[in-house]
Amino acid sequence: MKNLRLFLFILAVGVFGILNTEMGVIGILPAISEQFGVTISKAGLLVSLFALVVAVAGPTMPLLFSRFNRKSVMLFVLAVFAVANLISAWTTSFTVLLLARIIPAFFHPVYCSLAFAAAADAAPAGQGPDAVGKVMIGTAAGMVVGVPVSNFLAATFSLTASLLFFAAVTAVAFVATVLWIPSMPVQHVPTYGSQLGVLKKPVVWQAILAVIFMNGSVFGVFSYLADYLNRVTQLDGSLVSLLLMVYGLANVIGSYFSGRIIIRWPIASVQAFPFVILGIYAFFMLAGTQVMLTAVLILIWGITGGINANMNQYWLTTAIPEAKAFANGLFLTAANIGTMAASMLCGWLIDHTGTASVVWGGMAFACVSAVCIFWRTANAAYRTNILLEGGTSHAQER
């Protein structure tokens, strides 16, 4: 494709706008609680219900929209997000605000799944994972930039200004898509039945389980990282914020290089992932209150986490090469389920044995993910398929 870099950049901006809308609200929950006169726990529904809807819509909505022109669908989703964010900025009703969050959440997996599929299809042969990794920078940036920027705008100007920022990003992505993204009609239109039929294949469920536990191994612990740094590493608030930013920026770096790593070592990189996570958590337990060692571990962990997102997407789409949009929807659902399940386990461990034990939850998920990964790669036929989807003639496991 001509101007592939611009194409991938616009897709990344679109994904950033979607993730910014999802995650940015975390930084302004206290302001929402105050302005709308609701408790902080009720304001938290804006986050939890959004995530729940994404998890439910992941397999179904991309499937429903898989037959339509990708550009048209992307424009529709970006328009929905822009309008919903404008309504959020000007409403005085918490119920309306909640609806303006829930409705676009249904279309979150539609845009992301189509963006990942479009990036992979537009890339030269064998470079699909690298193209997807570039788009996933938008995911990492949405998680890193959304929270502090929304918090800054709300604190410096107003809650309305913060919510208008969400609308502005999606509006910019909308205009850029109109101007520079070519029409993307679907050449081969698989039936809904044939796409759903892939769920009969054992390899698909092996991949889904691997993604659930791989993602959970990272985000179960990350959900409580601030509390861990405060209580176990004994850092003050400013240092905790700094290290969270380090993690986020490292995530962006990991996303950038993830595709190249997957292309070069399509099987070995995935097989090694659980053991890298286990090693990081083992050193976390040894680090104690050593700030510098903890900072280095967070940097390495952040890079690994950035690689993890692309690796998860790749692992599922190679299991369902005939229905990539549906596979991407399944990836988003599996990733969200993994995050929720691991967060619940890690929260239970904290309640019963203390904050320091949170890493045991991540280690448990990493161990199960290793079993699921090796379960799939034990099948020679699917091992060959992974190598072919990786697209590298030199992708021999070394």
Could you give the number of structural domains in the chain?
2
Of 168-172, 186-190, 243-247, give the range with the top mean pLDDT: 168-172
Place of tokens 């993690």: 247
Given a cut of 50, whether residue 393 has pLDDT beyond it is no
Given a cut of 60, whether residue 210 has pLDDT beyond it is yes
At residue 381, the pLDDT reads: 53
Percent of the chain whose predicted confidence (pLDDT) is above 70: 94
Structure tokens at 36: 């709308």
336 and 372 co-located in one domain: yes
Q: In angstroms, rounded to a whole number, what is the distance separating the alpha carbons of residues 334 and 73?
A: 23
208 and 117 co-located in one domain: no
- Does 244 fall in a domain? yes
120: CATH: 1.20.1250.20
Averaged pLDDT for residues 88-101? 96
Of residues 145 and 294, more confidently modeled: 294
Averaged pLDDT for residues 276-301? 94
Beta strands in 232-356, from DSSP E residues, in sequence order: none
76 and 123 co-located in one domain: yes
Average pLDDT, the chain: 88
Given a cut of 60, whether residue 277 has pLDDT beyond it is yes
136 and 270 co-located in one domain: no
b/e map of 197-212 (b: 16 or more CB within 10 Å)? ebeeeebbebbbbbbb
101 and 197 co-located in one domain: no
Averaged pLDDT for residues 1-20? 91
157 and 51 co-located in one domain: yes
- Does 396 fall in a domain? no
State pLDDT tens for residues 106-140.
Answer: 999 999 999 998 998 898 888 888 999 999 998 88
77 and 139 co-located in one domain: yes
- Does 113 fall in a domain? yes
Q: In angstroms, rounded to a whole number, what is the distance separating the alpha carbons of residues 268 and 288?
A: 31
CA angle 327, 46, 302 (to 5 degrees): 55
Considering the entire predicted model, what is its pTM?
A: 0.81
> Helix or strand or coil: residue 299?
helix
172 and 210 co-located in one domain: no
Percent of the chain whose predicted confidence (pLDDT) is above 90: 52
State pLDDT tens for residues 308-349.
Answer: 989 999 999 888 888 877 888 899 889 888 888 888 898 899
145 and 52 co-located in one domain: yes
Structure tokens at 58: 């992941």
- On whether the CB atoms of residues 220 and 368 are closer than 8 A, the answer is no
15 and 55 co-located in one domain: yes
Domain that holds residue 69: 4-180
Of residues 397 and 228, more confidently modeled: 228
156 and 285 co-located in one domain: no
- On whether the CB atoms of residues 132 and 310 are closer than 8 A, the answer is yes
Of residues 146 and 285, more confidently modeled: 285
Given a cut of 70, whether residue 286 has pLDDT beyond it is yes
- Does 26 fall in a domain? yes
State pLDDT tens for residues 233-243.
Answer: 998 877 887 88
Least confident segment among 61-70, 326-335, 389-398: 389-398
- Does 185 fall in a domain? no
At residue 81, the pLDDT reads: 97
Task: DSSP for 177-228, please give it.
Answer: HHHHPPP---SS---HHHHHGGGGSHHHHHHHHHHHHHHHHHHHHHTTHHHH
- Does 186 fall in a domain? no
- Does 246 fall in a domain? yes
At residue 369, the pLDDT reads: 96
Q: In angstroms, rounded to a whole number, what is the distance separating the alpha carbons of residues 145 and 16?
A: 9
Point out the domain boundary residue: 146, 180, 214.
180
Averaged pLDDT for residues 272-283? 96
Structure tokens at 116: 């990942």
- On whether the CB atoms of residues 101 and 50 are closer than 8 A, the answer is yes
- C-alpha torsion 214→218→224→229, nearest 10: 150
Structure tokens at 108: 């979150």
Q: In angstroms, rounded to a whole number, what is the distance separating the alpha carbons of residues 222 and 242?
A: 15
372 and 241 co-located in one domain: yes
At residue 10, the pLDDT reads: 96
- Does 199 fall in a domain? yes
State pLDDT tens for residues 373-392.
Answer: 999 888 755 565 666 555 44
